[in-house]
Structure formats: C-alpha cells, structure tokens
Amino acid sequence: MTDLRLEELSAATAAAANSLTLKPGQEQFVQPTTYGVAESDVKPSASWPRVVLDGDEVVGLIIGSFDAENPQEELQACIWRVNVSATAQGRGIGRFAVHGLADEARSRGFERLTVVYEPGEGSPEDFFRAVGFDVVRETQYGDHFAVLSL
C-alpha cells in the first residue's frame, strides 16, 4: 500500500476496472435509483473516470462528474461511482480515491462535492460519513444526498 495512485481510465485498465469484485451484498449499492434515473442527464464530457492503482494492480475505480450548469444539484460536482475491490477494502483506498476527486473538484472551483447513495444494511453510508460527508436530505427515491465541503 505504499504506491497508491490515481490514473485516468484507459484501454489498458478498463477490463480490470469493470471486473472489480465487491463483497457479497454490495453490488446493489453501486448505482442508486436516483443516479439510474438521471443517467441520461449526465453529459459524457462531464465524466472524470479514474482507476486506483496499487503498484500495477487496479484496486479501485472512482467516477466523478462535473457539470456546474446542470439544473440538478446532484449532478453538478459529484461522485458518480466508487468501488474498491473486496480484497483491498478497509485499507484507505476509498478515502484516497475520494480525496483525489475532491482535489480535482477544488481545482475546478467547486466548493462542495456531493454523493447520492442508497441507505440500509451494507450501504456505504458509514464510509461517506467517515470521509466527511454530511447527509442533507433524501431524494425522491429515498436515497441519501450527502455533501462534503471543500
């Protein structure tokens, strides 16, 4: 864990990033309903996809989305997806990925980073709280909308 870095998703890393294996029960939290419904409102050009590499191994994926003009506040500067391989979880990789995205958001002039996730048993809620997000409301689909001040 001495050599963590973020790299732009590429042809060389896409297969590994798409086949990261999560822990049992986590798959249902990967895409909350609110994001599923909003998917067509996200511009491809807004996407900021990065893999987390530990040495040569892909251990995580984070996809941000930046679209300051988007009328939906959930889609202006958000974590669209963050996954860490089951065998690499609990070692600070998710936190490292979120910090990388937060740095990018700050450099683009955003004052906050947001995330939407489904609450419940096995949800990433405690992770987002641990890295500094506060839940500010529920979406119309019952997901939690949380904000990290930058």
Ligand X SMILES: CC(C)(COP(=O)(O)OP(=O)(O)OC[C@H]1O[C@@H](n2cnc3c(N)ncnc32)[C@H](O)[C@@H]1OP(=O)(O)O)[C@@H](O)C(=O)NCCC(=O)NCCS
For binding to ligand X (CB under 6 A), which residues are involved? 22, 26, 29-30, 82-84, 89-95, 115, 117, 124, 126-127, 130-131
CB of 33 to ligand X, least distance (A): 12
C-alpha separations of 60 from 89, 93, 107 in Å: 9, 7, 22
Task: Give me 118's structure tokens.
Answer: 């489904």
Rank residues 101 and 131 by Cβ distance to ligand X and give the closer one.
131
Rank residues 26 and 67 by Cβ distance to ligand X and give the closer one.
26
Scan for tokens 């939906």, then name that residue: 72
Rank residues 27 and 109 by Cβ distance to ligand X and give the closer one.
27
Q: Which amino acid, residue 80?
A: W
Rank residues 84 and 104 by Cβ distance to ligand X and give the closer one.
84
CB of 116 to ligand X, least distance (A): 7
CB of 46 to ligand X, least distance (A): 17
Indicate if the alpha-carbon torsion angle 115, 117, 120, 123 is positive or negative. negative
CA distance 150 to 147: 9
